[in-house]
Amino acid sequence: MNMAEIDVERIRKDFPILKVQMNGKELAYLDSAATSQKPRQVISKIGKFYKTYNANIHRGLYKISEEATEEYIKSKDVCAKFIHAGKSNQIIYVKNTTEAINLVALSWGDANIGEGDRILISKMEHHSNIVPWQMLAKRKKAVLDYIEITEGMQLDILDYKKKLERKPKLVALTHASNVLGTINDAKNLTRLAHEAEALVLIDGAQSTPHIPINLREIDCDFFAFSSHKMLGPSGIGVLYAKEEMLEAMNPLFGGGDMIRSVDLQESTWNDLPWKFEAGTQNIEGAIGFGAAVKYLKKLGMESVHSHEKKLTKYALKRVGEMGYVKVYGPGIEHIDQRLGVISFAIKGVHPHDAAAVFDSEGIAIRSGHHCAMPLMRGVLGEPALCRMSFYIYNKEEEIDRAIVAIEKARKMFSRG
Ligand SMILES: Cc1ncc(COP(=O)(O)O)c(C=O)c1O
């Protein structure tokens, strides 16, 4: 395989924020699972739009509107190729992963889920892949089932197969956990669900920024992800769906652009993907997102994943040497099925106290419930944890600094 190594120092030069100091120290940004930083290529692409061709899309018969429309459409093409979607009309722009999942729950769900029907999710889901299904289940008197997690912090496949026997209409699973780092085998999970005649939604919020995605291989019916976690701007994300799904689904919002024709009492819908994009869209977001995808594509997603695996291996080794730190997630032996997301508890130290120490050291980490309460409280028995997460711009020295911060937090706060 032709896989170039990531040149971190060169990449870091593309990210202006990495020159910023936090509390008098060089910023070590270890919170990319929450949102990623943005390279100058994305920032300047958005700036160029506003400075030189800001206009509404699909509407103006003048040069700069045509240019804006062209760039907007181009970003869909780039995105479709990036995830091997087949056609760019299967790419629906939404606000984020959360909106994409809600769109499916409200449009497909309301039309296809009835009383007593089952929806199957897992105990490692982010709230955005739990709450929309709870709301749908309540509306329709349907049943929400959960797949258990093994002690090794993987999906319990035996339990999955058992729950599939209950014939759910939809299986909605995360491709990668934002708490455990576990990467699920989306292709195999989809195959098993299809054999049980269930449709499949995959939450790709954490996977798409970090590993190669091939939707033709995975074969899921719906796939959701957010631009802001993959070097792009906030406020734009993607719902991918199989064409026949999108054709059969009703639009969620009515208004401009999503119609073919409007009469006094009736309207007809525009072609895909415009049927699902009512009103003026996040044009600059789409254009910036296209630039972000191009940036990642140039690096190569195999290289991105390989770089992060190296960092994760190093961090797991260093943290593993500290007897008072407990990591929740697959161990080093499962490094290939793991993202650079490390959730941990420091014995005797509250995660918020630890995060404050990290902050004083110029290191940004996440602490809290990570929007996954059923996993944290119900499975791990931890109301809160610290989490460091890595991306293309992180380096080993930042992990060394995190280790020093853990030691400092332990000295300052531990009563154990
Ligand atoms: C696994 C997972 N799913 C969904 C989301 C929701 O993403 P967004 O807030 O961009 O809608 C997140 C965000 O952290 C996530 O980690």
Last residue of a domain, one of 297, 327, 342: 297
Question: Does residue 39 sit within a domain?
Answer: no
Range of the domain at 113: 44-297
Same domain, 398 and 279: no
DSSP 170-200: EEEEESB-TTT-BBP-HHHHHHHHHHTT-EE
User: 390 pLDDT band (50/70/90 cuts)?
Assistant: very high
The C-alpha angle with vertex 62 and arms to 59 and 67, in degrees rounded to 5, equals 80
Question: Which of 297, 324, 355 is the C-terminal boundary of a domain?
Answer: 297
Asked if the structure places residue 2 within a domain, the reply is no
Indicate which residue's Cα is closest to atom 12 of ligand 1: 205
Assigned domain for 158 exists: yes
Note whether 334 and 279 are same-domain residues.
no
Are residues 107 and 113 in contact, defined by beta-carbon separation less than 8 angstroms? no
Q: 54 in the Ramachandran plot: left (φ > 0), alpha (ψ -120 to 50) or beta?
A: beta
Ligand 1 centre to CA of 94 (Å) is: 13
Ligand 1 centre distance from Cα of residue 259 (Å): 30
pLDDT at 152 over 60: yes
Nearest in space to 257 (alpha carbons), one of 272, 243, 275: 275
Closest ligand 1 atom number to CA of residue 229: 10
Are 90 and 246 in contact, with CB atoms under 8 Å apart?
yes
Q: With a cut of 90, say whether residue 341 has pLDDT above it.
A: yes
Quickly state the pLDDT bin for 2 (edges 50, 70, 90): low
For a ligand 1 pocket test, name from 180, 184, 226 the mutation site with the most ligand atoms within 8 angstroms of its C-beta: 226
Which residue among 32, 97, 127, 234 is best mutated to probe the pocket of ligand 1, counting the most ligand atoms within 8 A of its Cβ?
97
- The model carries a pTM of 0.97
Residue with CA closest to ligand 1 atom 7 = 97
Name the helix (H) or strand (E) containing 26.
Answer: strand 25-26
Is 254 found in the same domain as 109? yes
Mutate which of 98, 155, 207 to test ligand 1's pocket (most atoms within 8 Å of Cβ)?
Answer: 98
**Closest ligand 1 atom to the C-alpha of 237?**
10
Q: Is residue 316 part of a domain?
A: yes
The pLDDT score that the predictor gives to residue 349 is: 95
40 to each of 14, 52, 206, how far by Cα in Å? 5, 17, 22
> Which ligand 1 atom lies nearest to the CA of residue 178?
16
Structure tokens at 100: 């994409």
Q: Are residues 162 and 248 in the same domain?
A: yes
Summarised one tens digit per residue, pLDDT across range 78-110 is 999 999 999 999 999 999 999 999 999 999 999
Ligand 1 center from residue 409 Cα (angstroms): 28
On whether the CB atoms of residues 142 and 115 are closer than 8 A, the answer is yes
Q: Domain check: are 282 and 361 in the same one?
A: no
The pairing of strands 259-262 and 237-241 is unpaired
Cα of 369 from ligand 1 centre, angstroms: 13
Give the pLDDT band of residue 3 (cuts 50, 70, 90): confident
On whether both 217 and 346 belong to a single domain, the answer is: no
- Beta-bridge partner residues of 363: 28
In this structure, which residue's CA is closest to atom 14 in ligand 1? 34
Residue 36 inside a domain? The answer is no
CA distance 149 to 17: 38
pLDDT, averaged across the chain: 97
- Nearest of 108, 110, 127, 117 to residue 200 by alpha carbon: 108
Domain of residue 97, CATH code: 3.40.640.10
Q: CATH no. for residue 318?
A: 3.90.1150.10
Q: Is the pLDDT of residue 71 over 60?
A: yes
SS3 277: coil
pLDDT band at 135 (very low <50, low <70, confident <90, very high): very high
**231 domain-assigned:** yes
Q: Are residues 320 and 228 in the same domain?
A: no
Residue 190 CA, ligand 1 centroid: distance in Å: 20
The tokens describing 84, both together, are 């091997």
pLDDT, one tens digit per residue, over 291-338 is 999 999 999 999 999 999 999 999 999 999 999 999 999 999 999 999
Instruction: pLDDT band for 279, please (50, 70, 90 cuts).
Output: very high
63 and 156, same domain (yes or no): yes
**Residue 186 near residue 173, CB atoms below 8 Å:** yes
Residue 37 lies inside a defined structural domain of this protein: no
Mean pLDDT across 379-387:
94
Q: Does the pLDDT value for residue 1 go beyond 70?
A: no
Tokens 């109301």, residue? 383
Listed in sequence order, the residues at least 6 apart from 92 whose beta carbon sits closer than 8 Å to its beta carbon are: 100, 103, 238, 239, 240, 241, 246, 273, 276, 277
Q: Report the distance separating Cα 204 and Cα 271, nearest Å.
A: 25
Query: Do 145 and 91 fall within a single domain?
Result: yes
Same domain, residue pair 179 and 205: yes
> What is the rounded distance in angstroms from the CA atom of residue 114 to the CA atom of residue 317?
49
Q: Is pLDDT at 55 greater than 80 in this prediction?
A: yes
Answer positive or negative: Cα dihedral of 34, 39, 44, 45.
Answer: negative
The full DSSP string for 296-365 is: HHHH-HHHHHHHHHHHHHHHHHHHHT-TTEEEES--GGGGGGB-SEEEEEETTB-HHHHHHHHHHTTEE-
pLDDT at 416 over 80: no
Q: CA 224 → CA 115, 190, 200, 238, 340, distances in Å?
A: 26, 15, 11, 6, 20
Residue matched to tokens 């089932």: 145
pLDDT at 414: 77
Which atom of ligand 1 is found nearest the CA of 177? Answer: 1
Q: Domain total for the chain?
A: 2
Pocket test residue of 32, 178, 228, 373 for ligand 1, highest count of atoms within 8 A of CB:
178
Are both 121 and 200 inside the same structural domain? yes
Instruction: Kindly give the distance from the C-alpha atom of residue 97 to the centroid of ligand 1, in angstroms, as a whole number.
Output: 6
State the average pLDDT over residues 360-386.
94
Q: Is 1 among the domain residues?
A: no
Looking from the CA of residue 176, the nearest atom of ligand 1 is 1
Least confident span in 68-77, 369-378, 407-416: 407-416
> Each residue of 225-244: pLDDT tens digit?
999 999 999 999 999 999 99
Give me the active site residues, please: 371
The CA 260 to ligand 1 mean position distance, Å, reads 33
Decide which of 281, 297, 313 is a domain's last residue: 297
Indicate if 263 and 132 belong to the same structural domain: yes
Indicate the pLDDT class of residue 20, thresholds 50, 70 and 90: very high
Give the mean pLDDT of 266-290.
97
Residues contacting ligand 1 via CB (< 6 Å): 96-98, 126, 128-129, 174, 178, 203, 205-206, 226
Q: How far, in Å, CA of 192 to CA of 194, rounded? A: 5
Nearest-atom index, ligand 1, CA of 370 = 14
- Give residue for tokens 């991105």: 304
Q: Higher model confidence: residue 415 or residue 410?
A: 410
Packed helices 396-413 and 301-320: angle between N→C axes, nearest 10 degrees: 30
